Amino acid sequence: MWDYFLVIAQGIPTSLSLMAVSLIIAFVLAIIFTFLLSMESKILKGLVNGYLILFTGTPLLVQFFLIYSGPGQFEWLTQSPLWALFSDAWFCAVLALALNSAAYSTQLFHGAVKAIPKGQWETCVALGLSRLDTLKILIPYALKRALPSYSNEIILVFKGTSLASTITILDIMGYAKQLYGTEYDAITIYGIAGAIYLVITGIMTVLLRKLEHKVLAFERV
């Protein structure tokens, strides 16, 4: 059993790096999309809402396969410099995770923006601030309020990295599947993989709860 653990644990750095890079990209995209949804442009809102429907309405696994296998069907892409990226499984996994997480994060952040008390909006208007300047002030406040929900999204992204093994990446599940292919001990191998995910998500949950307590301290004053 210990030998199994040592093999499967080799995938921990890959899983964590996939999560970290995907979350950074997703967070930046979500902030941008939240600004666009909060502006008064119907065209921009329509485009962003279309993106949200696409990535929240389809399974993450399907998105993995489309992003990894789909580009190879376009000859112009396979002959372009971009093919160096789209032929790389790690890049495709990060892209799929980031685009998916950005969609859900945008919904969380925009919901938090809409939940801002009307009086705060009116105060900014009374001060003569533009819509964009108002959002620059209020969105950071909204992000703090959205942290408890966003913490769950962080955990979901980490667990979502397990799907990366379907496109040949040797993460935690990738090593587990590879090991099962030679040992055929499903209960032990996948049990160990599940235990690793459980321990890591448990540690992340504790750390995120402490962060929430610190960030939301202003509400208890």
Task: Name all domains of the chain by residue range, CATH numbers in brackets.
Answer: 2-220 (1.10.3720.10)
pTM for the whole thing? 0.89
> Taking Cα atoms as reference points, which of 142, 138, 139, 135 lies closest to residue 112?
142
- For 2-27, write each residue's pLDDT tens digit: 788 899 999 999 999 999 999 999 99
Residues 6+ apart with CB under 8 A from 128: none
Task: With beta carbons less than 8 A apart as the criterion, state whether 21 and 94 touch.
Answer: yes
- For 103-141, write each residue's pLDDT tens digit: 999 999 988 888 877 777 677 777 777 777 777 777 777
- For 147-185, write each residue's pLDDT tens digit: 888 889 999 999 999 999 999 898 999 999 999 888 888
Its sign, for the CA torsion 113, 117, 120, 126, is positive
What is residue 75's three-state secondary structure?
helix
